[in-house]
Amino acid sequence: MHKTFPGAVPEIPVSDMEAALDYYKHCLGFDVDWGSKDDGISGVSRGQCRMFLTDSAFREKRANSPPVVTWLNLDSKAEVDAQHAEWQANGATITAQPESKPWMLHEFTAADLDGNVFRVFYDYSRDVAKTASA
């Protein structure tokens, strides 16, 4: 039997929980669902995307340290470009502008305060295959 998995929930290591929660809320547009600077772990979400932010004390036994890379798969090139525009307007750290890559991903990258990276992308290989078969 092949079971379908739910969306993965990455653990993002942060050094300052209060600053991270502020950045994720105001620059990246996430909701802070639970947690605080004193808990060591907090949950943030935006639509179907959920993440846990964890501080160094929480991660002490796990050795999870920044930077980590999280890929966010959007539904179109236009969505990637719109997400870039939103994050740029909100003051997020954009590390690479939107670009269609030779490996068939339209993507840009952004970083949080600890250097964790978000690769926001759309896989347009299906669009090229549809055009080629038409």
131 pLDDT exceeds 90?
A: no
Q: Are the CB atoms for 122 and 75 separated by under 8 Å?
A: yes
Q: Does residue 18 lie within any of the structural domains?
A: yes
Instruction: Establish if 74 belongs to a structural domain.
Output: yes
The answer to the question of residue 3 being in a domain is no
pLDDT of residue 65: 79
pLDDT tier at 133, thresholds 50, 70, 90: low
2 in a structural domain: no
pLDDT in tens, 96-107: 999 999 999 999
Structural domain boundaries, residue 51 = 11-133
Q: Which amino acid is at 41?
A: I
How many independent structural domains does the chain possess? Answer: 1
Kindly compute the dihedral angle of the four CA atoms of residues 67, 76, 102, 100, in this order, to the nearest 10 degrees: -80
Residue 66 sits at the vertex; the CA angle it makes with 30 and 26, to the nearest 5 degrees, is: 20
32 found inside a domain: yes
C-alpha dihedral sign at 113, 97, 83, 74: negative
How is residue 25 written in tokens?
């809320």
pLDDT digits (tens, 9 = 90+) for 66-113: 899 999 999 999 999 999 999 999 999 999 999 999 999 999 999 999
Domain CATH code at residue 54? 3.10.180.10
According to the model, what pLDDT value does residue 128 have? 67
* 112, part of any domain: yes
Give the pLDDT score at 68: 92
Q: What would you measure as the largest C-alpha separation in the chain, in angstroms?
A: 57
pTM recorded for the entire structure: 0.86
Task: For residue 1, tell me if it sits in a domain.
Answer: no
- How many residues make up the chain in this entry? 134
Evaluate whether residue 4 is within a structural domain: no
The pLDDT of residue 132 is 61
**What mean pLDDT value characterizes the chain?**
90
From the list 77, 110, 108, 81, the residue with the least C-alpha distance to 93 is 110
